[in-house]
Amino acid sequence: MSASTHHYVIALGSNRRGRHGSPRQELAAAVAAIGDVVAQSRVIETAPLGPSRRRFANAAILIESAETPAELLARLKQIERSFGRRRGRRWDARVIDLDLILWSGGAWSSPGLTVPHPLFRQRAFVLRPLASIVPDWRDPLTGRTIRQLAARLPG
**Where in the sequence numbering do the catalytic residues fall?**
85, 94, 97, 99
CB-CB neighbours of 154 under 10 Å: 4
Contacts 24+ apart (CB under 8 A), 70-73: 70/110, 70/113, 72/8, 72/100, 72/103, 73/100, 73/112, 73/113
DSSP one-letter code for 94: -
Beta strand pairing status for 113-115 and 108-110?
Answer: antiparallel
Q: Which residues contact 38 (CB under 8 A, 6 or more apart)?
A: 7, 61, 62, 63, 64
Residues in the chain: 155
Instruction: Write out the E strands in 66-122.
Output: 97-103, 108-110, 113-115
Cβ pair 104, 115 in contact under 8 A: no
